[in-house]
Amino acid sequence: MSTLRTYLGWKVDYTAPAGEPAFTSPDSVSWQVFKNPVALAIGGICAVLLEFADARIRSGVWDHSVFKTDPIGRSRRTGIAAMVGIYGPQGAARRVIQGVTNMHARVSGSTPAGETYTALEPELLDWVSATASYGFLFAYDRFVSPLSEAEKARFFAEGEMVAGLYGVQQKIRSAEDFTAMMQTLLPRFEPHPINTEFLSIMKSGRAAPGVPKGLQSAVVNAAVEILPHAVRERLGLGAEYDLSPAGRFAVKSLARIAENVPDTTGPPAQACQRLGLPRSFLWKSQAQRARLLEAALQRQPAKKVTA
């Protein structure tokens, strides 16, 4: 099976060059969170809802991307960009991030109310980065495994380097930082048909072919559940998006399987191989991971296996 992924024309091989570090290390909270596809699905939907709450971002995505006609392709490309920033060799990650920035530099327009925007406005870049961190972290914390306050702080700190490469100026370092940024933008947030159309797309078979529709609906409702209450209220996402007990059980069961059964074919496993670790490294116990990482450090210089 090929280890290559393509994004904006760039070929990314998570297994090479051997020893080249990522921007986060194998013992990071980020490597644990991002290995779980259920957390990524829930967190990604939550992040988009938070972004779409602002008319400037909502118009920018809807008017300048193919999401509404090709949700699968658009979601995959966004997923690749996120995974490269966490697991990719730094050289490849820099190329992809620069490619994304170049693409965003061409995005500008105006909202239906006539407010102009550009994708590289600092306030918008800061919010998009904050929503991604919030969504992925709290999806994992709620539906996979609870994280301590220290682990949450580490997760936010681990994302600062990549956020800076994207041009983010106000980097969040805690849930309190996220809340403060959200409160500043909250008066702008509003319900909109695009929000519900997005959720309908994500609940349909178009977003994830082969996945039972009931499970897709549960994942969407899980994403709505982790929205801050004030945002959910502003967006008018009512009881019809409540997660049922059966849906919660299905989501948590699937997340638990993904957390414990190694996927040795994806970017997280391939990145482990690049750094001289077993492909199943991230699915082992904390004590086993510590021993394996120490052994890898003894085999090669520390800079080869840590960010």
Query: DSSP H helical segments within the chain, as ranges?
Result: 29-33, 37-52, 55-64, 71-87, 90-104, 122-143, 149-158, 160-165, 175-185, 193-203, 213-225, 229-235, 245-260, 267-274, 286-299
16-44 pLDDT, tens digit each = 999 999 999 999 999 999 999 999 999 99
Q: Calculate the alpha carbon distances from 257 to 16, 26, 144, 266 in Å.
A: 28, 21, 10, 16
Q: Is residue 29 part of a domain?
A: yes
Residue 268's identity, in one-letter code, is: P
Q: Is residue 269 part of a domain?
A: no
118-176 pLDDT, tens digit each = 999 999 999 999 999 999 999 999 999 999 999 999 999 999 999 999 999 999 999 99
Q: Compute CA 161 distance to the chain's CA centroid, rounded to the nearest angstrom.
A: 15
| pLDDT higher than threshold 90 for residue 207 | no
Query: Interior CA angle at 293 toward 289 and 298, to 5°?
Result: 150
49-84 pLDDT, tens digit each = 999 999 999 999 888 877 777 766 666 777 788 899
With CA atoms as reference, report the closest residue to 167 among 115, 107, 100.
Answer: 100
Supply the DSSP string of 42-83, one letter for each residue: HHHHHHHHHHHTSHHHHHHHHHHSSTTT-HHHHHHHHHHHHH
**Which pLDDT does position 65 carry in this prediction?**
78
Contact 226, 42 (CB under 8 A): yes
Q: Is residue 160 part of a domain?
A: yes
Domain containing 124 equals 4-260
DSSP 139: H
Tell me how far apart the alpha carbons of residues 288 and 293 are, in angstroms, rounded to a whole number.
Answer: 9
Q: Is residue 288 part of a domain?
A: no
Tokens of 284: 């082992």
Supply the DSSP string of 96-132, one letter for each residue: HHHHHHHHHTT-EEE-TTS-EEETT-HHHHHHHHHHH
Q: Is residue 220 part of a domain?
A: yes
Tell me how far apart the alpha carbons of residues 214 and 235 are, in angstroms, rounded to a whole number.
Answer: 23
Q: Is residue 116 part of a domain?
A: yes
Q: Is residue 278 part of a domain?
A: no
Number of domains in the chain: 1
Q: Is residue 240 part of a domain?
A: yes
DSSP 244: P
